[in-house]
Amino acid sequence: MSGSGRSRRPPERRSGRAGRVGRRGGARARRGLTRSSADLTIRPSEFSSPRAADSFELKRPGSNALPRQRVVLVGVSSRALPRSVAEEHLDELERLVDSAGGQVVGRFVQERSSPDPATYVGRGAVEAIGEQARRDDAALVVFDDELTPGQVRNLEKRWGEAITALDRPGLILDVFASHARTREARTQVDLAQLQYLLPRLAGRYGHLSRLAGGIGGRGAGEQKLELDRRKIRDRIARLRRDLEKIETSRQVRRRARAGRVQVAIAGYTNAGKTTLFNRLTRESAYAADRLFATLDSKSARGASPRLSGVVFVDTVGFVRKLPPSLVASFRSTLAEIRDADVVLHVLDAASLRVDEERRVAADVLEDLGVEAQRIIPVWNKMDLPGARVPRGEIGISASTGAGSEALERVIRARVRPEPDRFTLDIPYSNARAIAESRAAFRVLDEEDQGESLRLRIAGERRNLGSLSRFVEDEAASEPARVRRRAR
């Protein structure tokens, strides 16, 4: 076994939401964050309720009222993932824990070629992590990867009742559940939580299977598992129907914005997307220096005269190893990015991991079908120490406003490019062509040429159509312009 762990002296307790109670009493009830599989969304004592679908209690904003939960983080390094990178990943995991209301008191990184199929880390590491958690009075161990249900069961069996294992997807779901505030966001998170929970039910009632069963009958645990799966599937179906109704309403709102240019603000979580949204629209949407402070998409018109007719949409942030169930549940929200005319890809110019964050966000945008020509990279937080911007790209500070005017000009040029200018020489005998040119283009100047009318027009070349035969060759007409100036 090759691994190392270190304890961390807990900082002074600060105000903030702690996590949700896993159970109503005992050691589990003193914990803050969601229990990895069983207690993530369910109150087992209420499974017998007649309203089966309503017996699953999902985490809600403001439900965290306990002191901050003490947490140990676990990561794995390898040749493909150097220890320095694994430590950086744990830095982000710590921010997720903080956003969920927890307090990291220790870390453990093991070097191995691949995860152990039974316990993710090696046997010796399992014991060392358990000892570290007990020494630091930590009731929760969070892994920077997805654990299988079997791995969770094996780990908790080795550690005993006092320590719970939670994986990265479960932690992200916990953060989303804490920050979801609108009906749409809550429905999306509820669906993702239940989809995450469903395959993790097996083994919850293993002890019950010994109480009944035998030939011709199944054990109580197996019967209970079957019942719970049915209840969760029923609720998943109901939530999907609710999301379909919400999506219908969203499509109506989207059609109401038809004819206006839509610019989506996307990027890695905590890159400053909502702050930029507020800067461009003069809105006051909630923004905070924490991961996933924004889950609900918001839209507003641009405040600057340069941005008249432009609608900006603030969207949920991306993160490394985003749970697939969340991506599926938030598909209607992500559709705002997919359908936008322009996407501002906001990057944290001061982040040490900005290259990885850019790659993660770019992969999501590609999966959504957003073409590269629709994306404008925007390097935010230029006011912070260490911020850097690649040559030729846009750097701003959304918090101070520095660089925002230059960004507005870039957006305007992208959504309203300068029109092409042409000179048409149309014979007076072709009155229809003259009328068509005046109707389809902005006429800058008209000049009588005797037998023809010379028009300077502005517009898109693709709209010329049959008028293209009247376009004057600028080079050939230069002598005529010289003669006119001489007169």
- Euclidean distance between the first and the last CA atom of the chain, given in angstroms as a whole number: 94
Q: Is pLDDT above 70 for 482?
A: no
CATH 3.40.50.300 intervals, the chain: 259-415
Higher pLDDT, 36 or 188: 188
pLDDT at 161: 86
Q: Is pLDDT above 80 for 412?
A: yes
Please say whether the beta carbons of 256 and 144 come within 8 A: no
Q: Is pLDDT above 90 for 344?
A: yes
Give pTM, 2 decimals.
Answer: 0.66
Question: pLDDT-derived band of residue 421, with 50, 70 and 90 as boundaries?
Answer: confident
SS3 72: strand
Please say whether the beta carbons of 6 and 72 come within 8 A: no
pLDDT at 5: 62
pLDDT at 211: 39
Structure confidence by residue, pLDDT tens digits, 115-137:
999 999 999 999 999 999 999 99
The CA distances from residue 203 to 147, 152, 221, 227, in Å, are 15, 10, 8, 14
Q: Is pLDDT above 80 for 317?
A: yes
Residues 6+ apart with CB under 8 A from 81: none
Question: pLDDT-derived band of residue 290, with 50, 70 and 90 as boundaries?
Answer: low
| Mean predicted confidence (pLDDT) in 183-193 | 86
- Residue 264's DSSP bridge partners are 313, 343
- Residue 214's DSSP bridge partners are 217
CATH 3.30.70 intervals, the chain: 420-486
Q: Is pLDDT above 80 for 170?
A: yes
Please say whether the beta carbons of 5 and 108 come within 8 A: yes
Question: Selecting from 3.30.70, 3.30.110, 1.10.150, 1.10.3470, what CATH number does the domain 420-486 have?
Answer: 3.30.70
Tokens read off for 191: 């669906």
CATH 3.40.50.11060 intervals, the chain: 3-191
Amino acid at 315: T
Q: So what's the architecture of 3-191 in CATH?
A: 3-Layer(aba) Sandwich (3.40)
Fold of 259-415: Rossmann fold (3.40.50)
pLDDT at 67: 57
Question: pLDDT-derived band of residue 270, with 50, 70 and 90 as boundaries?
Answer: confident
Please say whether the beta carbons of 66 and 130 come within 8 A: no
Residue 443 sits at φ, ψ, to 5 deg, of -85, 120
pLDDT at 167: 92
pLDDT at 70: 92
| Mean predicted confidence (pLDDT) in 365-369 | 90
Q: Is pLDDT above 50 for 183?
A: yes
Question: pLDDT-derived band of residue 289, with 50, 70 and 90 as boundaries?
Answer: low
- Range scoring the smallest mean pLDDT among 6-15, 20-29, 192-201: 20-29
- Range scoring the smallest mean pLDDT among 69-83, 304-318, 376-390: 304-318
pLDDT at 175: 85
pLDDT at 309: 80
Question: pLDDT-derived band of residue 204, with 50, 70 and 90 as boundaries?
Answer: low
Write a three-state SS string for 347-415. Answer: EECCCCCHHHHHHHHHHHHHHCCCCHHHEEEEEECCCCCCCCCCCCCEECCCCCCCCHHHHHHHHHHHH
| Mean predicted confidence (pLDDT) in 74-101 | 91
- Range scoring the smallest mean pLDDT among 2-11, 85-94, 246-255: 2-11
Of 99, 91, 163, nearest to 127 by C-alpha is: 163
Structure confidence by residue, pLDDT tens digits, 208-233:
343 344 444 444 556 677 778 888 89
Distance CA 228, CA 232 (A): 6
pLDDT at 292: 67
Mean pLDDT estimate for the chain: 78
Distance CA 383, CA 363 (A): 27
Q: Is pLDDT above 90 for 284?
A: no
